Chains A and B, each alone.
Chain A
């Protein structure tokens, strides 16, 4: 497979400036699908518990490539393109299910659970006539296979033989923070898809942007769930692509002063909840970290907001649109009280989330605001120009880390 050349020249050296065409250019988008999503990265595809038993499968996407993730008879995870080797039709039509084998509905070509072509209808023809040429070898035909790797119940897939092993890809600091949350078997509580009217990178940047959280999301600051003046920091993986930010549960009544001095909208004292049970959070990980947001390049988010746990999968849908697939989860051994707490705190996230509602819109605001500014540059300068870990969240270090990784993959 040839890798397309980068379609444009990157205008500046610094990581602290980003041209707006990168969210708009169709040729750039096509190159991203090849160079990033189908390139040497690990794409999050599903939870291990989604494909727990032999034959269990889920369908999803790697970039725009439809894929099937399936548990084989051998217990191993397999992933292959959801595309019949014959005429290219989808092989599996459901989101999930259990199968002994897969059969394309178009001409009934059949695949085993590893994606090998094992049956061609009328391969020998009918009554001695027709059929495939004797030279046709089924083993030489089949959908493209992906490598799979799992960690702490998360399943990732990669099309490239060059992708490093998953643990090395993540780096120790990010891996440890995945394991911090996903330390025991999960129980799925719900799934939703949010359609967003913006380029996929605007969402990924938003998640990595520790600067915006307490300024845009006034629900948080109003109820003092997080402020930039609270303790915490951000860890950026050495390659820049992955990050984990943390907010410590440390309150200080004088903390509103910094917001008031700057006249920030995010400061509204005296707004109380009629039913504060929403914010009844238990320190279930025993380390005082109230929020942890973690990303894995290019498409994965792991979220701990109080006791509200979720994974989010970023699915690009053209240069100007994407889908965000949310899976809310708890743990298999949750008490009824913890289960109920998670249902309540789910109000914080998703398309109607008190906290994440704005994130669904703000990417669209950038997409629309910068519509005529392809060659202008956005400013990503908080905390300097580097992409190193920092002991503050008033920084855009992890956003610059994203661009560091992005430019390396794209050849910019």
Chain B
């Protein structure tokens, strides 16, 4: 049975488990696993609530293939220079919002604390994930994950994905 055919009550634990695995992969610095949470093709974008509301399409991060997601991880590991830091994601309960083009639509709030190498802990980002989820190889995966940050202001840099 395809995910989209399941009632919302049955989807809730599946989407929640996917979100939990996703957050753990990032927070545990297993970024190489991150592209695997997406279908192919896919869309991943980080934007702000203001841009989203105004229909401005550019993101701080924009990827439309698993390859682009892998490239971001490779760049973070091998090319980009930034101070050691980690995230702690707190991901809320997803709201299951029905079906769009054969995908399950879900919206999930999140909060991310950033921990810098010197011990500084900051509330780095809050927002919501706007997701389209599909069956992909027998597992639930993101066809689209739009990360809508509540604020348009980013502190210093956004290296690790949200």
Residues of A with Cβ closer than 8 Å to B?
188-197, 216, 218-219, 222, 268, 271, 273-275, 277-278, 323, 328, 339, 342-344, 346-347, 350-352, 354, 357-358, 360-361, 364
**By DSSP majority rule, is chain A's interface helix, strand, loop, or mixed?**
mixed
Bits for B37-81, please: 1 = Cβ < 8 Å to A, else 0.
000000000111011000011111111111110111011001111
Per the bound structure, the CA–CA distance linking A250 and B72 in Å amounts to 26
22 A-B contacts (beta carbon < 8 Å)? A190-B56, A190-B57, A190-B59, A191-B48, A191-B152, A192-B154, A195-B153, A196-B156, A218-B79, A222-B79, A275-B65, A278-B71, A344-B62, A344-B64, A346-B58, A346-B59, A350-B60, A351-B156, A352-B61, A357-B80, A358-B82, A360-B157
Which residues does chain A contribute within 8 Å of B20, judged by CB atoms? none
Which residues does chain B contribute within 8 Å of A278, judged by CB atoms? 68, 71
Query: Of residues 77 to 125 in B, which have CB atoms within 8 Å of A's CB atoms?
Result: 78-83
Q: Which 9 A-B pairs have the closest CB atoms?
A: A275-B67, A190-B58, A274-B67, A189-B58, A351-B154, A352-B158, A193-B153, A190-B56, A360-B157
**How close is A338's CB to chain B, nearest CB, in angstroms?**
13
**How close is A270's CB to chain B, nearest CB, in angstroms?**
11
Per the bound structure, the CA–CA distance linking A361 and B47 in Å amounts to 21
Whether the Cβ atoms of B62 and A347 lie closer than 8 Å is yes
Whether the Cβ atoms of A328 and B58 lie closer than 8 Å is yes
Most chain A CB neighbours (cut-off 10 Å) among B60, B66, B74: B60
Which residues does chain A contribute within 8 Å of B46, judged by CB atoms? 352
Given the interface contacts A191-B50, A361-B82, does A273 sit within 8 Å of B67 by beta carbon?
Answer: yes
Which residues does chain A contribute within 8 Å of B28, judged by CB atoms? none
Whether the Cβ atoms of B51 and A190 lie closer than 8 Å is yes
Which residues does chain A contribute within 8 Å of B81, judged by CB atoms? 216, 218, 357-358, 361
Which residues does chain B contribute within 8 Å of A195, judged by CB atoms? 153-156
Per the bound structure, the CA–CA distance linking A197 and B80 in Å amounts to 19
Which residues does chain B contribute within 8 Å of A352, judged by CB atoms? 46, 60-61, 154, 157-159
Whether the Cβ atoms of A219 and B60 lie closer than 8 Å is no
Per the bound structure, the CA–CA distance linking A364 and B117 in Å amounts to 14
**How close is A407's CB to chain B, nearest CB, in angstroms?**
29
Whether the Cβ atoms of B57 and A189 lie closer than 8 Å is yes
Per the bound structure, the CA–CA distance linking A43 and B8 in Å amounts to 54
Whether the Cβ atoms of A343 and B51 lie closer than 8 Å is no
Whether the Cβ atoms of A274 and B152 lie closer than 8 Å is no
Which residues does chain B contribute within 8 Å of A188, judged by CB atoms? 56
Given the interface contacts A191-B50, A195-B155, A357-B159, does A218 sit within 8 Å of B80 by beta carbon?
Answer: yes
Whether the Cβ atoms of A342 and B58 lie closer than 8 Å is yes
| Pick from B48, B57, B61, B79: contact of A271, CB under 8 Å | B79
Which residues does chain A contribute within 8 Å of B71, judged by CB atoms? 273-275, 278
Which residues does chain A contribute within 8 Å of B56, judged by CB atoms? 188-191
Which residues does chain B contribute within 8 Å of A275, judged by CB atoms? 65, 67-68, 70-71
Which residues does chain B contribute within 8 Å of A196, judged by CB atoms? 156
Most chain B CB neighbours (cut-off 10 Å) among A218, A277, A350: A350
| Pick from A192, A271, A274: contact of B60, CB under 8 Å | A192
**How close is B63's CB to chain A, nearest CB, in angstroms?**
8
Which residues does chain A contribute within 8 Å of B58, judged by CB atoms? 189-190, 328, 342-343, 346
Which residues does chain B contribute within 8 Å of A193, judged by CB atoms? 152-154
Per the bound structure, the CA–CA distance linking A191 and B151 in Å amounts to 11
Bits for B123-162, please: 1 = Cβ < 8 Å to A, else 0.
0000000000000000000000000000011111111000
Which residues does chain A contribute within 8 Å of B155, judged by CB atoms? 195
**How close is B145's CB to chain A, nearest CB, in angstroms?**
15
Which residues does chain A contribute within 8 Å of B158, judged by CB atoms? 351-352
Whether the Cβ atoms of B70 and A274 lie closer than 8 Å is yes
